[in-house]
Structures are given as C-alpha cells and as structure tokens.
Amino acid sequence: IDAALSDGPLKGKHILVTSGPTHEPIDPVRYIANRSSGAQGTAIGAALAALGADVTFVTGPADVLPPQGVDVIKVQTAAQMLDAVQSAPAADAAVFAAAVADWRVANAGDSKIKKDGSGLPTLEFAENPDILATVSQMTVGRPKLVVGFAAETDDVIANATAKRLRKGCDWIVANDVSPNTGIMGGKENAVTLISDAGAENWPRMGKEAVATALAKRIAEALA
Ligand code: CTP
Ligand code: CA
C-alpha cells in the first residue's frame, strides 16, 4: 500500500459499498435488470480507497471493472447482494450505490422457456429484500453512517426526502435521471445530498468528482 494512501483520513475505517445492477433470472438464458453501468459506485469505491479506507465492494454485473485496492465480492441477484452485505465485516459506513432490481421472477426455472407454440410465458414476480433499509434499520452493528442513492424522475427532492425517512438511512444522494438530463449512462452526475440538515445541490460534475466529494464528506462525518 502506498504510504500516502495509508495515511488518508479514512485509514482504519471499513466502508461497505454496493454497486452495479442486479440480474434476476427468468430462466438459464434470460434475466431482468435495472439500467446501471456501475460507474458511479465504482468511482465511490475508488475514492474511498484513495482516502485510506478498507473497502468491501459488493457488485452486480457492471459494465465497468471494479476499482483497484478494494475487496471485491461479485454477485448476480439482490438476494445474493443482501447475503454478501450481511456477511461482510462490521462497517463504519456503508454506501448503497447499486441499482437493485425491485422484483425477482418467482417462477424462474432451470429449464429454458421455449417458443413451442403453447402461448406467451407469464412471469410472476416477488419483491426483493431492500438491502439499504435492512442495514439502515439494524439494531445491532449498524454502520455509523448509512448512505443511499435515489435515482428519480419528476419530484426528485420530495421523492428522495421521503425515501430517506422511509428507509432510515442518514444521507440520500439524489439525482434526476429523466432522459432529458442525459445522466443515465453518461460520465457526469448532478446530485443533491439530502441529510437531516436539508438538501444541498451540488453542481453537475464528472462521476469521479462526485465520488471524491462524497468520500471527503464521509471522512468528515466519521472523523
Ligand atoms: N436499494 C436496496 N435494495 C433494494 C432496492 C433499493 O439496497 N431492494 C437501495 C439502492 O441501492 C439505493 C436506494 O435503495 O441506495 C434507493 O433505491 P431506489 O430504487 O431509488 O428505491 P426504492 O425503494 O426501490 O424505490 P423505487 O420504487 O423508487 O424504485
Ligand atoms: Ca427501486
């Protein structure tokens, strides 16, 4: 480890990060998923590690490679992501940047669904566990700082503020992912940091810059 990094403000802190989408199987060859490149979560993992944190990085099948210098745990489904999060060592802070599929296919099977003339398949859905809410509401061993994301359209701040209270996390990083913003799939992000102190609009900047700013705020909160 680089001496400069091991001296960072997050030295000795363990931080859990979730990133990327989850894939929920329909059959062995098909799945449903959220749209997520994993770029923002990966940048956050890298920024936290750069400040000296020990990072456990739980990632679904992302488009981008996981950051260097973190402990990577690869998962496919939301259920696996929850298991990995619950099996990770106790964390000082946790950042939930993953775009977790809200539903899994309850009638997923081991046999490929065939176009055999017997009609269209019917998928039955079951709701996935809410990983962020589960960790936010832990009564024993809850991280001191729990940070969620809220990718919203329409009433972004109101939706994200309600989401923070409903889930019980400390901060929510909200962003407007309406198609006209060009945020989804892009290199930039324009976020609002919502805490019990209110909503703070950050200027639009690169995802790495958002990650660095967030990592610095986390370091201040844990200091
Ligand atoms: N999240 C999670 N587990 C889930 C769903 C969401 O950990 N099963 C986390 C995401 O990683 C994110 C935050 O919760 O940090 C908000 O996700 P979002 O999809 O915006 O919230 P939902 O509660 O699923 O609400 P919505 O109906 O708007 O999708
Ligand atoms: Ca969701």
Q: What is the dihedral of CA 64, 75, 8, 217, to 10 degrees?
A: 80
Tell how far the Cα of 34 is from the centroid of ligand 1, in angstroms.
Answer: 11
Question: What residues sit around ligand 2, an ion, with C-beta below 5 angstroms?
Answer: 102
Rounded Cα distance, 113 and 36, in Å: 26
Residue 34 catalytic? yes
ipTM value, please give it: 0.99
- Summary count for the chain: helices (H), strands (E): 6, 14
163 a known binding residue? Answer: yes
Tell how far the Cα of 149 is from the centroid of ligand 2, in angstroms.
Answer: 10
Closest ligand 1 atom to 150 CA = 20
- Ligand 1 pocket (Cβ < 6 Å) reads 18, 78, 96, 98, 100, 102, 128-132, 148-151, 163
| Residue pLDDT, tens place only, 189-212 | 899 999 999 999 999 999 999 999
| Residue pLDDT, tens place only, 30-79 | 999 999 999 999 999 999 999 999 999 999 999 999 999 999 999 999 99
